[in-house]
Chain A
Amino acid sequence: MNLACVKPKGETTRMTGWPQVIAPHIRRLLELLAIALALTVGLWVNLLAAQPLGTPATQAADAKPAPLVLTEAEQVWLQEHPVIRVAQDTSWAPVEFADALGEPSGMSADYLKLVEQRLGVKFQQVRELSWFEVMGGLQLREIDMTTSVAATQGNSTFLAFTRPYMQLPIVIFTQMNVSYVADLQMLRGKKVAVGEGYSVSDWIARDHPEIQLINVRNTEEGIARLEGGEVFAYIDNMLVVNYFISLRGDVNARVAGSTPYVNAQSMAVRKDWPVFAGILQKALDSISERERAEIYGKWLPLRTKYRFKSKRVWQGLAMFVVAILGLAAWVRLLYQSIRRRRLAEAVLRESEARYARAVRGSSDGLWEWGVLTNENYLSPLWKDLLGFAPDELTDHSDSFFSRTHPDDVARVQAALKAHLEQQLPYRIELRLRTKSGDYRWFLVRGEAERDEQGRAILMAGAIIDIDERKHMDEQLSAAQAETTRLLEMAEDSREALLSVVEDQQEAEQALRQLNETLERRVAERTADLAAANQELEAFSYSVSHDLRAPLRAIDGFSRKVIERSGARLDDEGRRQLQVVRDGAQRMGRLIDDLLAFSRMGRMEMTLQPVDMAAMARAVAAELRAAEPERAIEFAFSPMPTIQGDAAMLRQLWVNLLGNAIKFSRGRDPARIEVGGRVEGLQALYWVRDNGAGFDMQYAEKLFGVFQRLHRQEEFEGTGVGLAIAQRILHRHGGQIRAQGRLDGGATFSFALPLAGTNQPTSERTAS
């Protein structure tokens, strides 16, 4: 949609479907409506139109082209070098790229053509190389020149440059959901894609070592990695990426920030050919501003299609269109009713003419007034028109004047006067009071008969009842007024709608900014968390693999020594080797427990009703079976059912009951009480044993990882079990507490929120 399609007023689309009999004001109204509609829609579209893609970077400023004059030495140099090999980037559209047929194309290719024209030479094209290979070729001097490169410390060692002839700003692209990247420092620690071998890659590596650079082969790969979320940002020249985006469309990438870098693109030749660089400089200098503008214009990114972003704006537009359509329908109905009335009017006119003819042929409706004599005549029809029988009304002028509506009397008199004195036609519409007392409209016409002096002696004429037509006219003008009012309303509502749209846009803008700020923070936090989690995952992965292997070797080979050479060792030697083995095995268990602890924090939870009593009994039975020689008495009391993750809660019971069994070793019998009850919104459970207990002074330490209150030779263990128990409870929104006395048993009690009130929490970071 384009505003240009709204023609100037005079040429507005003709309503060809509408009959020409249509009254001019109706036509005018419809024209106005059409204009209003077109303007509204046009304005709308203009308001909503997406911003055109970035405006061009300024060209290198050299206002006047210098005429190309080569020195003799330069001419000789050109003659001595008939073959000059040029290679260009194949994937840096629109600056330079290989087109569908592999032909070099793009802005710098166009510059190169102009340079060839100016110098009267033809360079030899070396094709199908990636930019990385082009740079390599230049270093090896297998390629002599390239057409678009920015000088860096790195490439200056093997290239000689012309002055820059194109300036292309370098910007930061992110996914659409990232609102703004203030500067490169915001990318600290993030993965950022850059073109391999492109200057910007050198610059960022030099200035921002904190950024994790990912090399990509070309824009396509850069954007693909960006869209795939493999990198947070992609940094490249704005023109190049926008060109790519405009070609592909529907790309989840946007310019999110600027960089201080500009691709000041020069032509470059191998370092040992400085003369040639000078020649190229002269050729470039001879290119006029108009030629530059042409090249630029040719490769400007295509405009993207407009996108309407807000659903609400669509709805607003739809509502407005419906309103306009409703108005148009109403006007059409009005028009039809007017046409019907016009038709009636035409019939009436016909009857009027017929009546005139009748009047001429008969005395019906006729009136006569003796101007001088005041002798009058009113025909029977005249009286009938006012509802009177012929004998009910006297043939007196008063019969007329006294029945004329007071507001019309003055007009009648003035008209009569004008007719009598100035011979103007006497034809007047007026109201006469009928027998019933109502006023009706009549058309009164008449003509005076005059004497030789021109004095009126008699006036004669007729009256016609025009009441119906008159009312129609009134209705018509009321309708006209209504139409005008509606048109004004339409205009008002259009303006109101526009201002609503503006207000809404402002509000949306504010809301969007707020959202973006929030989203950015959330995104940053989430990214941090995800990164931490990923690191943890990787860490535990490598722990599970790499730490176990050497332990196995330590244990395995110690065992081998004991088996094969044990006979040659003394008891102490064998004992020491056994200590080595015990250590390795213990280390293995520590690793396993640590991984289990870590996994417990990251595991997905599936909530379901869990019968805690049944679960505790089952776990206790299993654990007791592992130590059949011990006397253990379990006492279970009823327990509330709870909503939770069955696997995790099972682990909880294993750890708590396992502890109770372990630390009551040496009691005969060991007594373990397990119970629970509902307390407010919580379910409370406990495990009580008559075991070794602990000093309450150290109660807080119990739940720390690797925290142990007993020596290994007293009670074996890694010190992770209670930490895992606590983590399971935290993830269920619960808590755990320990009470005990040294040598007086321990009670572990834990509380869980009852069904419906518990929100599983995720404990994603390592504690």
Chain B
Amino acid sequence: MSTHHQELQILLVEDDLADAEMTLDALRDANLVNEVHWVKDGAEALDFLFGRAAFAGKPLPSLKLVLLDLHLPRVDGLDVLRQVRANERTRRLPVVILTSSRQESDLRQGYDLGANSYLVKPVESEAFFMAVRDLGLYWMLLNRTPGETS
């Protein structure tokens, strides 16, 4: 439990339970796990981000990072990204795509829509673990976004 980060600062959008668990393991290793909110599809992600449906009336999260899978039930990851970028409040929010797809078209669309990074999940679990942990550390501790007090 980090004392510096009281609020939820990472949104993990992941429908695969195994991948989610491994991602959380890696974030836990980086001491970031208590700040993560995990949603299991794109629609839930949008509800969370924009305070709708189950999240109506709750204070809007002040996020520092979204880890976004692409192939999601209900609302696709690329659609989530599109809506995030279309909203004034979230358009600068760092979004890292974390997916199994190394399809050229997904890469192109992801960057076109303004993804900050695109990571293909390695099959090899050590590589996966390291990748997610480094990613979390980099975006949470090193990266700076406008409007942040440092």
Contacts and interface: CB of A to CB of B under 8 A. Distances in A.
Contacts of A587: 123
Contacts of A544: 100-103
Contact of A559 (B19, B101, B122, B126): B126
B123 A555 contact: yes
B18 A585 contact: no
A695 B100 CA distance: 39
15 contacts: A541-B101, A541-B103, A544-B100, A545-B101, A550-B18, A552-B100, A552-B123, A553-B18, A553-B22, A555-B123, A556-B125, A556-B128, A556-B129, A558-B125, A560-B25
A552 B71 contact: no
Interface in A509-566: 541, 544-546, 548-553, 555-560
Nearest to A589: B123
A137 interface: no
Contacts of A588: 123-124
B16 interface: yes
Given A545-B101, A549-B16, 8 more contacts: A544-B101, A545-B103, A548-B123, A552-B121, A553-B22, A555-B125, A556-B22, A588-B123
Contacts, number: 55
B53 to A, nearest CB: 27
A549 B100 contact: yes
A338 interface: no
A645 to B, nearest CB: 16
Given A555-B123, A555-B125, A559-B126, A549 B103 contact: no
Interface in A561-606: 581, 584-585, 587-588
Contacts of B122: 552
A588 B102 CA distance: 13
Contacts of B16: 549, 553
Determine which residue in B18, B22, B121, B124 has the highest number of CB atoms from chain A within 10 A of its CB, and name it. Answer: B124
B102 A552 contact: no
B132 to A, nearest CB: 11
Contact of B18 (A541, A546, A549, A584): A549
Interface of B: 16, 18-19, 22, 25, 71, 99-103, 121-126, 128-129
Q: Which 3 A-B pairs have the closest CB atoms?
A: A588-B123, A553-B18, A556-B125
Determine which residue in A549, A553, A556, A584 has the highest number of CB atoms from chain B within 10 A of its CB, and name it. Answer: A556
B102 A549 contact: no
B102 A556 contact: no
Contacts of A548: 100, 121, 123
Contacts of B121: 548-549, 552
A557 B123 CA distance: 12
A106 B99 CA distance: 55
Contacts of B125: 552, 555-556, 558-559, 581
Contacts of B25: 560
A549 B99 CA distance: 9
A545 B123 contact: no
Given A556-B18, A556-B128, A560-B25, A551 B123 contact: yes
Contacts of A549: 16, 18-19, 100, 121
A552 B18 contact: yes
A460 to B, nearest CB: 115
Contacts of B123: 548, 551-552, 555, 584-585, 587-588
Contacts of B100: 544-546, 548-549, 552
B18 A557 contact: yes
A597 to B, nearest CB: 15
A556 B129 CA distance: 9
Contacts of A558: 125
Contacts of B19: 549, 552-553
A585 B103 contact: no
A185 B99 CA distance: 43
A596 to B, nearest CB: 10
Contact of B22 (A546, A551, A552, A584): A552
Contacts of A581: 125
Contacts of A555: 123-125
A176 B140 CA distance: 59
A584 B126 CA distance: 13
B71 to A, nearest CB: 6
Contacts of A559: 125-126
A241 B99 CA distance: 47
A585 B122 CA distance: 10
A557 B129 CA distance: 12
A585 B128 CA distance: 12
